[in-house]
Amino acid sequence: MAKYANPGQPDSVVSFKPRYDHFIGGEYVAPAKGQYFENTTPITGQEFTEVARGTSEDIERALDAAEAAAPGWGKTSVAERSNILLKIADRVEANLETIAIAESWDNGKACRETLAADIPLAIDHLRYFAGALRAQEGGISQIDEDTVAYHFHEPLGVVGQIIPWNFPILMAIWKLAPALAAGNAVVLKPAEQTPASIHVLNELVADLLPPGVLNIVNGFGVEAGKPLASSNRIRKIAFTGETTTGRLISQYASENLIPVTLELGGKSPNVFFDDVAAQNDAFYDKALEGFAMFALNQGEVCTCPSRALIQGGVYEEFLQQAVKRTEQIKQGNPLDTDTMIGAQASNDQFEKILSYIDIGRQEGAKVLTGGDKADLGGELSGGYYIQPTVFEGNNSMRIFQEEIFGPVVSVARFSDYDEAIKIANDTLYGLGAAVWSRDGATAYRAGRDIQAGRVWVNNYHAYPAHAAFGGYKQSGIGRENHKMMLDHYQQTKNLLVSYSQNAQGFF
């Protein structure tokens, strides 16, 4: 066990500044209106820094910087852009502990995750797009003897990106790496709940990118996000969040006729077929861990497996052991490397989860474990902790249909394959899902029949850069990860060239 010192203490691996400004045009600049907002750590509920409260004036200034930088950046060689991404990755890797602890302090998540997942995945993501860029090719099509169609990739120009608070750094890198690789300049707005950790990272790498290529404007959605999303100076907007804001951003984008990428969450089914429990072996243990994955990142994951569907033949036995596995999840100080589940990211998130536990009970769902907040004592008493909670109920209940975004799973039984697929697809969303079976044909068929953009087969919560991620149905538009993401940040230029010396024959 190792417990990292709280930031601010002399032996901490990270020290936050007392104040963070906007990062515009390669330097930190004060907000136009001079206002700042307090930022708290969900671990103790205490304030630890203040952050610039951006407004439309700051967004315009960032767009000025991005517009100035975009043409030059877009014309750099792919080798140059790729090398810069690799250098950023190296710098982040060399400072992994600092960035990971900063992320845990800002967001509340256990450092076991930031040290082993969030930051290593961000590093790998940068390297993946550095490589994918070098390997990307355009196309040449010979139309006839004298005519050739050339297809080139060109950057969009200036793009806007609005980042969520559940993986503040990893989600920023998911969006930044392909956008920068493709040659775009970016204006990025972090979430107001977690505005600080990205600046700890940025200060370490700021000298590597030309001024204006990356601009970070902090602030609230209504004051900074809206002027960015509705600006007619961006060529694309990317957003991760919820459906109403997704619709509003689409509405703004339609006014400017620009593309959107939206990732809006889900209510992901985790489907366990009878044969999972055919033997009490390593695979069975893996499946039980797969059930408990709903508590990863305190359940604050768009693909949280928040609906567990278990087949009737093994329902009681499997559920009993799954509850036992859930009860072994160690809740504690997020800066302790033994801690598996940390604090919810904000007080309003904490209150919302409790309101869902309340409606679940009212609807008649049975609490099998958890079902309340957790008071961890000492300085942690001011933080936002929820017990991992298992509900048993049916798919028409609201706790089966709405993304609670907390460590809460709702369990239901199914009798056969058709019922499993019917329940799995009875949802407004289609982001993630998993199927667990020892039979490859069942797993394959279920994986294809479930309407979701990512179906894990016999695993969960793996996010390699090389696998496309995104939603069906109301879970959004577009994909993230995978080299196809380069296309999402590029225009297609077609040069249609005639090598014939003769008139075309129309006039």
Site string for another protein, 411-430 (x = CB under 8 A): -----------------xx-
Among 53, 112, 479, 488, binds another protein (CB under 8 A): 53
Rounded Cα distance, 241 and 254, in Å: 18
Torsion of CA 468, 469, 473, 476, to 10 degrees: -120
Rounded Cα distance, 411 and 374, in Å: 22
Residue closer to another protein, measured from CB, 276 or 301? 301
Among 405, 414, 436, 463, binds another protein (CB under 8 A): 405
Interacting residues with another protein between 145 and 184 (CB under 8 A): 164-166
Least distance to another protein, CB of residue 108, Å: 12
**What is the token pair recorded at 182?**
């493709």
Among 374, 403, 480, 482, binds another protein (CB under 8 A): 403
Residue closer to another protein, measured from CB, 220 or 417? 220
Least distance to another protein, CB of residue 172, Å: 14
Interacting residues with another protein between 240 and 279 (CB under 8 A): 240-248, 251, 263-266
Q: Residue 355 contacts by C-beta under 8 Å, 6 or more apart in sequence?
A: none
Least distance to another protein, CB of residue 191, Å: 6
Q: Regarding beta strands 260-263 and 429-430, do their DSSP bridges make them parallel or antiparallel, or are they unpaired?
A: unpaired
Amino acid code (one letter) for 66: A
Rounded Cα distance, 3 and 378, in Å: 15
Q: Please state, in angstroms and as integers, the Cα–Cα distance from residue 424 to each residue in 41, 275, 412, following that order.
A: 36, 18, 10
Burial of 415 (0-12, 13-18, 19+ CB in 10 A): exposed
Interacting residues with another protein between 70 and 129 (CB under 8 A): none
Interacting residues with another protein between 441 and 480 (CB under 8 A): 474-475
Cα 357 to chain centroid, rounded:
25
Rounded Cα distance, 186 and 176, in Å: 8
Residue closer to another protein, measured from CB, 40 or 331? 40
Rounded to 5°, angle at Cα 429 from 423 and 435: 50
**Other beta carbons less than 10 A from residue 351's beta carbon:** 12
Judged by DSSP in three states, 479 sits in coil
392 binds another protein (CB under 8 A): no
Active site residue 317: no
Among 20, 272, 356, 414, binds another protein (CB under 8 A): 356
Among 396, 415, 459, 494, binds another protein (CB under 8 A): 396
Least distance to another protein, CB of residue 190, Å: 11
Among 56, 347, 369, 394, binds another protein (CB under 8 A): 347
Among 64, 67, 154, 402, binds another protein (CB under 8 A): 402
Of the residues 113, 192, 263, 480, which is catalytic? 263
Active site residue 302: yes
Site size toward another protein, by CB under 8 A? 54
Q: Is the dihedral of CA 175, 177, 178, 179 positive or negative?
A: positive
Among 12, 131, 151, 220, binds another protein (CB under 8 A): 220
Listed ranges 62-70, 327-335, 356-364, 408-416: which one lies at the site for another protein (CB under 8 A): 356-364
Among 57, 285, 316, 348, binds another protein (CB under 8 A): 348
- Asked if residue 125 lies in contact with residue 173, where contact means CB atoms within 8 angstroms, the answer is yes
Residue closer to another protein, measured from CB, 170 or 206? 170
| Strands annotated E in 167-227 | 185-189, 214-216
Rounded to 5°, angle at Cα 177 from 182 and 128: 95
Residue closer to another protein, measured from CB, 191 or 341? 191
Interacting residues with another protein between 283 and 322 (CB under 8 A): 302
Rounded Cα distance, 421 and 434, in Å: 11
Among 362, 415, 492, 500, binds another protein (CB under 8 A): 362
Rounded Cα distance, 84 and 73, in Å: 12
Rounded Cα distance, 389 and 316, in Å: 17
The residues assigned a catalytic role are 263, 302
| Interface ranges with another protein (CB under 8 A) | 37, 53, 164-166, 191-193, 220-223, 225-226, 229, 240-248, 251, 263-266, 302, 346-349, 351-352, 355-356, 358-359, 362-364, 396, 398, 401-405, 428-429, 474-475
